[in-house]
Structure 1
Amino acid sequence: MNKSLLTSDPAVEVKSPNQVFFCPEESQFYAQCLEKMVLSQGASESPIVEFGSGDGSPVIQALLRSSFKGTIQGYELNLAAYQLAKLRIEQYGLTPYYQVHNDCFFKGSTAAARCLVANPPYLPAPDNQLYMPSLHGGDDGATITKQLIAQGCEQVMLMISAYSNPVDTVNHALNLGYEVVDFMVTPLKFGYYSCEPKVRDSIAILKRRRQAFFSERIYFLAGVLFRQKSAATACLSEEFLKVMTAL
């Protein structure tokens, strides 16, 4: 497609970060992971399904930099985010390649999808009464991530936070017959959502349990590609967890 992604989009109404998830650094990293580990690795011809499309910007960025030939079916419950995604997809002429549905992912069928991608909610907290409730990932931040892995797709590319029980998440995937075949890691500063007191308190509790790993200034976010076990690939779970628990 080789189109350039515009840095400003005056036709798209700016929403509050309490209405639509907004973290340019994280969204850009998610786009890079999609491009490198999914769209450029022979998966572009296979059906792809996305959980939680948000405003669509990560997938749009990845599509504009790739020679994608298939279709990504995205699911987004947040109406404001869905509307932004639809508008942006149309503006960039990507409707044949990226279609977003304002519906529940878990009510849809993933049977035809060989690959599932997502930047799932991973904020740990005792409940979802947060600045943005849809970012709640359960008590340890890994609840929805584990549910996505359990969908049984051949490939699963997920964003995993080092402060959201990454060790248990990887072990959950291994027990379900997956292996880690690729990953990318970036440092991020604690921001608008992760600095909420309820979230920081939960992260501190998880750290004492050795279920969260971070420093006072940064945490690691990873894009991880899981694939059903095969003799043709080596599992990188040990290397991945050494990186994620380094802090």
Structure 2
Amino acid sequence: MKEALFTSDTAVQAYSPNTVFFCPEESHFYSQCLEKMVLKHCTHFDSVVEFGAGDGSPVISCLLKIKFDGSIQGYELNSEACELGQSRIEQYRLEHQYTIHNKCFFKNFSSKATYLIANPPYLPAPDDNLYMPSLHGGEDGATITKQLLSIGCENVMLMISAYSNPVETIEYALNQGYQVVDFMISPLTFGYYSCEPKVKKTISELRKNRKAFYSQNIYFLAGVLFKKRDSYSTDLSVELLRVMTAL
């Protein structure tokens, strides 16, 4: 039943992929990153906030597999995705651990949160006139990611695409006082959203300027845990970028 969260056999098939984000491979990888780098390490004292919760399936999948004593507050502007997510939370009786609010994250973010998590919009394009406008990440795909890194949360776990200006994104994080303390990387194929002509053209242009890295139909997606810089952790940013820019 847990794996069904990432298949077209679930309620998401009732929605258009232009209405509710649907990419099983990416959602599954995001869930793995959350489990390994965030939720397994949380205590009942920790609070987690999520930007762009979508249909909630990555977090729900984690909560069904591991012991988690904290709380997660998700924010999602897409009312249909939020409705689907909340119905799944109720279905699996996870209301005491996870809530998705149909509100703007940036207007409701609590600075007391221990972790900020997100698979932020990272499609690069000159405008948001896309199959799914909410996936627009700015001209280089990194705009929303940088906004999240500027909030100042102590621990931030983000998904970062190799075709969305990863070098400048990591440099921005370092300038904000973060260091990379852990990461996971998975190869993904260009899919429905990233193959939209406008997006693919922008990615190709970014590649010419060494701001996008990919090979044929493959790109790397990284789950990256950033932590405010301290003297006890090793910064893995150089290693991360070496892998992400290898294609």
Which TM-score band (shorter chain)? over 0.9
Residue by residue over 1:19-50, the C-alpha shift from the partner in whole angstroms, topping out at 9 and shown as x without a partner, is 00000000000000000000112466411100
Tell me, in whole angstroms, the C-alpha distance in 1 between the residues paired with 2:132 and 2:174: 31
Residue by residue over 1:127-156, the C-alpha shift from the partner in whole angstroms, topping out at 9 and shown as x without a partner, is 000000000000000000000011100000
- 1:38–1:44 contact (8 Å) kept in structure 2: no
Q: Which residue of 2 aligns with 1:81?
A: 81
Q: Which residue of 2 aligns with 1:58?
A: 58
The answer to whether the aligner puts 1:184 opposite 2:184 as a matched pair is yes
Alignment of 1:189-200 (within 5 A): 189-200=189-200
CA displacement at 1:13 relative to structure 2:
6.2
Tell me, in whole angstroms, the C-alpha distance in 1 between the residues paired with 2:42 and 2:84: 29
Alignment of 1:149-168 (within 5 A): 149-168=149-168
Q: Which residue of 2 aligns with 1:231?
A: 231
Q: Cα–Cα, structure 1 residues 107 and 204, in superposed 2: closer, same or farther, change >3 Å?
A: same
- 2:12–2:20 contact (8 Å) kept in structure 1: no
Q: Which residue of 1 aligns with 2:4?
A: 7
Tell me, in whole angstroms, the C-alpha distance in 1 between the residues paired with 2:188 and 2:104: 29
Q: Cα–Cα, structure 1 residues 62 and 45, in superposed 2: closer, same or farther, change >3 Å?
A: farther
Residue by residue over 1:209-245, the C-alpha shift from the partner in whole angstroms, topping out at 9 and shown as x without a partner, is 0000001120000000000011110000000000000
Tell me, in whole angstroms, the C-alpha distance in 2 between the residues paired with 1:179 and 1:64: 30
3-state DSSP of counterpart to 1:89: helix
Q: RMSD between aligned alpha carbons? A: 1.4
CA displacement at 1:111 relative to structure 2:
1.2
Stretches of structure 1 lacking an aligned partner (at least 5 in a row): none
Q: Which residue of 1 aligns with 2:243?
A: 243
* Paired amino acid for 1:29: F
Stretches of structure 2 lacking an aligned partner (at least 5 in a row): none
- 2:76–2:105 contact (8 Å) kept in structure 1: yes
3-state DSSP of counterpart to 2:46: coil
Q: After TM superposition, what 4+ stretches of structure 1 lie above 4 angstroms from structure 2?
A: 8-13
- 1:20–1:55 contact (8 Å) kept in structure 2: yes
- 1:45–1:68 contact (8 Å) kept in structure 2: no
- 2:180–2:227 contact (8 Å) kept in structure 1: yes
Tell me, in whole angstroms, the C-alpha distance in 2 between the residues paired with 1:62 and 1:11: 19
> Percent identity over the alignment?
63
Q: Cα–Cα, structure 1 residues 215 and 13, in superposed 2: closer, same or farther, change >3 Å?
A: closer
Alignment of 1:31-180 (within 5 A): 31-42=31-42, 45-180=45-180
Count of residues in Structure 1 that have an aligned counterpart in Structure 2: 244
Tell me, in whole angstroms, the C-alpha distance in 1 between the residues paired with 2:194 and 2:234: 34
